[in-house]
């Protein structure tokens, strides 16, 4: 067995095959021919002396053996060799050609026939692996020989006249051929087999040894004379040796042994030695005996050999299969166990022990012990499975956990497969099986399941619908999102993807299935992308989708289906629509708002413009391009140079931002103001200017109007002496208008001033109470207050300012901003003062007049004797006063013309021409006028009473003149002369009238009076200082009365 197991298959290599095809036939033919010839020669040598019969014909064995061994391809070489050998041998053996041919044919035919029989039954590579084969071989040989013998017999009969019968010849021939074949052919067959499957040295040695022993023993025993004890039964010695050969070596050696024995037998038979050569036995018997012996020995040998060979082969096969099993088991890390169901005996191999964690030194040998290693929870299942297997005699497989012992076995899983061995009655005898540690596998499986679960969850969590189809288009998997998209759950394997919904292209035109991306992926195995479509559910609801199908291939590259991820782009579509609308709105708004944008390619001189730009520049609606030349043509000629310069400067300085405003003249002639903001990019060689244009015409006009208005206002302010200011509480600076600057004599154009400066300008007397008031107002949270105060201009003149302040406060009461108005009220105040003065003066005068009247009346009463006189005199005086006042009033209190005064006073008494007034035009101021008027009244009254006016012939001459003297500034001399009146009596009475005449003017005016009663008439000379003589222009106010001297509330 050992020999067999360690052999290696020697398969014919290519070289061998080539050798066979080319060289082989010739070599075979040659070898066969030569061997056949030699064997034939040998056989002929071994003819029985009496009959001339060859006990056996080894050549036949050579032929058939070779043919059987080499197979049908050696057909022709063998036939040729055999035939040529036979012919040669026969010719050499002194037989005629015809019979030689016949014999050749017979021999060749025999070999061929036998070989073909064998080949038909057993195919090529015939060997003695089984008893059946041996017996078949023997049978085939016998049949073939028998048939060939017929031919040979006819040959013999035809060409050789021998005394034997046809049957005898035939029998002889066939038997000897058969024997020859049986003894020799196995040898050759074995040899060829050995060539193919080389035996090991040990086997060769043992075989050779045995063969040698056999040869010796057979030679000795068979050739020994009968009185030797070992010659009695040579087979006793031969058979064990044959057995040894058969048992220990391959059939070749047994065949060789058989041949050796055959040779010895034939030799002894032929040469009459030993057992088969005894004289007592006739020739025929001896031959029969020899043949029988040969047959028996061959049969035995071959049968033994075949039996052992068979066993060997079985053992070899078993060993091989065991080995394979071992490899498989080892490779699969399987442990092997067996359980005897009746005795409960448990056996297992090392691996199984390792898997279960059995104690290596004392593994469990019983079922009960083995169960201890199994997790209690799985024992019931295990038992029930075994019971079921035992009952149904079918294999079972279970997976169970190991009992956790000291943590080493915790969590370990084992898979068990069991097969039932049963007896002849079908009762279960034992269980055998394999176990495998599947912990890893289980863990892997669990992990994989988890992964798969996770993957499924992931897929389901995807917002996009994902589904998989097989190669025919049936849906095999889809995620939840796909279900939501279709509105129903497809049945996997039954629903085709195209059955679940209708498809339209993005314009709403129905799409046939062939054009759908999924179908393209299925049929043409290519992906389509970016094809938007509309899916319509059976219910009619339409959804915008973006399908992304891809063909799927398995590991070998075969197409197995399509995976499609479909995105619901409804939201996006809606957003796009909204955006488009928004853009439209924006464009519209831009147009309405007169905002436009442009992108100008400097080199090309072309710009792309927005609809708003077109509107602004008066270009036709829908214009999208404009050239620089067009733009230039539109720019107002006055602004073009400035614009050009600015742009050039910007580009030269490589500044990015460019801002300018300019006018354009539209096609319809209208002038518009444009505010342009641009960004210049210098990258690369194509500078671009991108920017916006805003039509700011209205704004510009408004600005212009505003600035004009402002200027007007400033002018008005200045003219009106009004100024305004504003400052934040707590700030040191205030903002002022032009008017304010003018008001406070600040330089023209000042817009800011320090508040401290203002304080310096304020009149020191006023600063204190102003600040107090201001603080108080802040405290009281007054929002408005007005004050009048003085400021001192740089030139020193004082101006009165009326100031109105407006204060805004923050939430917590702090003053925030103060704005105010300053008005120069100096003139007004002056006028007010003037008026006050006038009023006061008026009062004064009236009071004076009244006082005077009172005094006059008091004085008058003293100089009058009767009430009537008093009334008359008083009345006359008062009338005189009134008249003077009237005169003054008529002339706006600007002075009394002396001549008027005189005329008035004398008027009541002036008759034809008794009054003569003469003098230059002289105006007396009010004071002097009044004084003089009173004096003149008295003079007149006296003249009327007693003087020149009392008589009709009387005359009054009044003359005056101005006399300039160097010393006192001059005087006014008034001369009163009465004439032709009644005789003047020197009235000694110093009446009131006289005192008036003589005292008033010196007292009030500082002048002189000379009142004389001349004989011709009264003469009065009045001298009034010229200071009381006014010009026309002077006001009626007393000379020394100035506002500075008066203080009135």
Binding interface with another protein (CB under 8 A): 840, 843-848, 850-852, 854-856, 858-859, 862, 927, 931, 934, 995-996, 999-1000, 1003-1004, 1006, 1038-1041, 1045-1049
Round to whole Å and give the CA distance between 160 and 102: 12
Round to whole Å and give the CA distance between 428 and 414: 24
- Which is it for strands 915-918 and 955-963: parallel, antiparallel or unpaired? parallel
Which DSSP state fits 515? G
Nearby residues of 403 by Cβ (< 8 Å), 6 or more positions away: 372, 373, 374, 375, 376, 409
Determine contact, residues 553/525, Cβ cutoff 8 Å.
Answer: no
Looking at the Cβ atoms of 458 and 851, the one nearer to another protein is: 851
Looking at the Cβ atoms of 461 and 1039, the one nearer to another protein is: 1039
Helical axes 24-45 vs 58-70, angle rounded to 10°:
160
End-to-end CA distance of the chain: 159
Beta-bridge mates of residue 565: 466, 548
Q: How far is the CB of 922 from another protein (least distance, A)?
A: 21
Round to whole Å and give the CA distance between 1034 and 926: 11
Q: How far is the CB of 830 from another protein (least distance, A)?
A: 19
Beta strands, E only, 554-652 = 559-568, 595-601, 606-609, 625-627
Looking at the Cβ atoms of 236 and 840, the one nearer to another protein is: 840
Six-digit token string for 688: 């671009």
The DSSP line for 187-199 is: HHHHHHHHHHSPP
Round to whole Å and give the CA distance between 796 and 745: 11
Q: How far is the CB of 850 from another protein (least distance, A)?
A: 5
Looking at the Cβ atoms of 920 and 1038, the one nearer to another protein is: 1038
Q: How far is the CB of 878 from another protein (least distance, A)?
A: 12
Nearby residues of 959 by Cβ (< 8 Å), 6 or more positions away: 917, 918, 919, 974, 975, 977
Looking at the Cβ atoms of 398 and 932, the one nearer to another protein is: 932
Nearby residues of 152 by Cβ (< 8 Å), 6 or more positions away: 102, 103, 106, 107, 169, 170, 173
Looking at the Cβ atoms of 980 and 1004, the one nearer to another protein is: 1004
Round to whole Å and give the CA distance between 569 and 834: 92
Round to whole Å and give the CA distance between 43 and 62: 12
Tell me which residue of 875, 907, 901 sits closest to 887, measured CA to CA: 901
Round to whole Å and give the CA distance between 529 and 532: 9
Find the length of the chain.
Answer: 1049
Helix/strand/coil for 659: strand
Tell me which residue of 102, 107, 39, 38 sits closest to 67, measured CA to CA: 107
Q: How far is the CB of 726 from another protein (least distance, A)?
A: 38
Instruction: Outline where 891-915 has alpha helix (H).
Output: 898-906
Cα-only R_g, the chain: 82
Q: How far is the CB of 851 from another protein (least distance, A)?
A: 5
Q: How far is the CB of 843 from another protein (least distance, A)?
A: 5
Helix/strand/coil for 527: coil
Q: How far is the CB of 968 from another protein (least distance, A)?
A: 16
Looking at the Cβ atoms of 185 and 934, the one nearer to another protein is: 934
Round to whole Å and give the CA distance between 173 and 1012: 235
Q: How far is the CB of 822 from another protein (least distance, A)?
A: 29
Dihedral angle of Cα 199, 200, 203, 207, to the nearest 10 degrees: 50
Looking at the Cβ atoms of 8 and 862, the one nearer to another protein is: 862
């Amino acid at each position: 067995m050992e020999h067999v197991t360690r052999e290696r298959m020697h398969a014919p290599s290519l070289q061998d095959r080539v050798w066979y095809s080319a060289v082989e036939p010739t070599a075979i033919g040659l070898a066969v021919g030569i061997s056949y010839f030699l064997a034939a020669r040998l056989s002929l040598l071994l003819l029985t002396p009496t009959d001339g019969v060859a006990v056996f014909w080894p050549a036949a064995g050579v032929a058939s053996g070779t043919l059987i061994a080499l197979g049908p391809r050696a057909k022709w070489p063998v036939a040729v060799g055999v035939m040529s050998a036979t012919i040669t041998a026969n010719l050499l053996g002194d037989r005629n050609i015809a019979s030689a041919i016949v014999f050749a044919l017979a021999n060749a035919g025999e070999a061929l026939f036998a070989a073909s029989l064998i080949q038909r039954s057993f195919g090529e590579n015939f060997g003695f692996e089984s008893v059946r084969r041996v017996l078949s071989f023997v049978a085939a040989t016998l049949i073939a020989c028998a048939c060939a013998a017929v031919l040979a017999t006819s040959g013999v009969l035809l060409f050789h006249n021998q005394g034997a019968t046809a049957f005898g010849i035939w029998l002889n021939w066939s038997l000897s051929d058969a024997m020859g074949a049986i003894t020799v052919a196995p040898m050759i067959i074995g040899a060829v087999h050995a060539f193919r499957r080389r035996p090991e040295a040990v086997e060769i040695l043992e075989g050779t040894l045995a063969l040698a022993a056999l040869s010796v023993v057979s030679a000795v025993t068979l050739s020994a004379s009968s009185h030797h004890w070992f010659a009695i039964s040579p087979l006793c010695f031969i058979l064990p040796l044959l057995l040894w050969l058969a048992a220990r070596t391959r059939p070749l050696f047994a065949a060789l042994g058989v041949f050796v024995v055959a040779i010895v037998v034939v030799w002894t038979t032929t040469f009459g030695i030993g057992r088969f050569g005894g004289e007592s036995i006739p020739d025929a018997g001896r031959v029969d005996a020899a043949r029988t012996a040969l047959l028996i020995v061959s049969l035995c040998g071959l049968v033994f050999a075949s039996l052992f060979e068979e066993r060997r082969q079985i053992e070899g096969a078993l060993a091989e299969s065991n080995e394979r099993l071992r490899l498989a088991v080892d490779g699969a890390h399987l442990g092997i166990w067996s359980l005897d169901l009746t005795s409960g005996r448990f056996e297992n191999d090392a691996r199984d022990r390792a898997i279960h964690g059995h104690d290596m030194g004392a593994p469990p040998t019983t079922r009960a012990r083995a169960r201890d290693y199994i997790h209690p929870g799985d024992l019931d299942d295990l038992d029930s499975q075994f019971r079921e297997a035992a009952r149904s005699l079918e294999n079972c497989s279970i997976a169970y956990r190991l009992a956790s012992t000291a943590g080493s076995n915790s969590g370990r899983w084992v898979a068990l497969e069991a097969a039932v061995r049963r007896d002849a009655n079908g009762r279960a005898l034992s269980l055998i099986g394999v176990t495998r540690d599947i912990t890893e596998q289980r863990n892997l499986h669990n992990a994989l399941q988890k992964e798969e679960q996770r993957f499924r969850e992931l897929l389901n969590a995807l917002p996009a619908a994902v589904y998989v189809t097989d190669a025919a288009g049936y849906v095999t998997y889809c995620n939840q999102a796909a279900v939501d998209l279709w509105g129903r759950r497809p049945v996997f394997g039954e629903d085709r993807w195209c059955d679940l919904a209708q498809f339209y292209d993005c314009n709403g035109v129905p799409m046939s299935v062939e054009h759908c991306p999924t179908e393209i992926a299925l049929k043409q195995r290519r992906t389509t992308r970016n094809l938007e479509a509309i899916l319509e559910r059976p219910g009619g609801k339409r959804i915008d989708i973006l399908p992304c199908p891809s063909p799927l291939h398995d590991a070998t590259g075969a197409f197995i289906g399509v995976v499609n991820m479909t995105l619901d782009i409804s939201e996006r579509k809606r957003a796009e629509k909204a955006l488009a609308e928004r853009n439209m709105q924006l464009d519209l708004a831009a147009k309405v708002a007169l905002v436009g944008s442009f992108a100008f390619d400097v080199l090309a001189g072309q710009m792309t413009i927005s609809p708003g730009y077109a509107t602004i520049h008066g270009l036709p609606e829908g214009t999208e391009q404009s050239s620089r030349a067009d733009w230039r043509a539109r720019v107002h000629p006055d602004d073009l140079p400035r614009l050009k310069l600015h742009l050039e400067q910007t580009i030269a300085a490589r500044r990015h931002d460019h801002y300018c405003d300019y006018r354009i003249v539209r096609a319809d002639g209208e002038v518009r103001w444009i505010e342009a903001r641009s960004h210049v990019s210098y990258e690369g060689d194509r500078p671009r200017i991108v920017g916006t244009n805003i039509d700011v015409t209205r704004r510009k006009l408004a600005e212009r109007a505003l600035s004009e208005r402002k200027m007007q206002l400033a002018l008005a302010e200045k003219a009106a002496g009004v100024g305004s200011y504003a400052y934040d509480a707590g700030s040191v600076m205030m903002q002022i208008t032009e008017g304010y600057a003018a008001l406070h004599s600040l330089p023209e154009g000042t817009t800011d001033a320090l508040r401290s400066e203002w304080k310096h300008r304020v009149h020191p007397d006023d600063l204190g109470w102003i600040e107090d008031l201001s603080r108080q107002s802040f405290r009281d949270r007054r929002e408005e207050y007005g004050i009048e105060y003085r400021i001192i201009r740089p030139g020193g003149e004082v101006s009165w300012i009326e100031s109105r302040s407006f204060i805004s406060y923050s939430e917590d009461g702090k003053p925030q901003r103060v704005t105010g108005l300053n008005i120069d009220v100096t003139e007004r105040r002056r006028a007010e003062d003037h008026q006050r003065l006038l009023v006061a003066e008026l009062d004064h005068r009236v009071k004076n007049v009244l006082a005077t009247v009172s005094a006059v009346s008091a004085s008058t009463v003293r100089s009058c004797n009767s009430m009537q006189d008093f009334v008359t005199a008083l009345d006359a005086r008062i009338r005189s006063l009134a008249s003077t006042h009237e005169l003054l009033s008529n002339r706006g209190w600007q002075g009394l013309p002396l001549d008027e005064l005189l005329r008035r006073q004398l008027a009541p008494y002036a008759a034809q021409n008794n009054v003569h007034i003469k003098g230059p035009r002289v105006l007396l101021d009010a004071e002097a006028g009044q004084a003089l008027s009173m004096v003149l009244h008295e003079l007149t009254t006296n003249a009327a009473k007693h003087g020149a006016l009392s008589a009709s012939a009387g005359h009054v001459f009044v003359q005056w003149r101005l006399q300039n003297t160097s010393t006192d500034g001059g005087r006014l001399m008034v001369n009163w002369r009465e004439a032709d009146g009644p005789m003047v009596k020197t009235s000694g009475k110093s009446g009131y009238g006289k005192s008036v005449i003589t005292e008033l003017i010196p007292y009030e005016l500082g002048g002189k009076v000379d009142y004389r009663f001349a004989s011709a008439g009264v003469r009065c000379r009045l001298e009034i200082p010229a200071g009381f003589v006014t010009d026309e222009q002077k006001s009626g106010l007393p000379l020394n009365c100035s506002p500075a001297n008066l203080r009135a509330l």
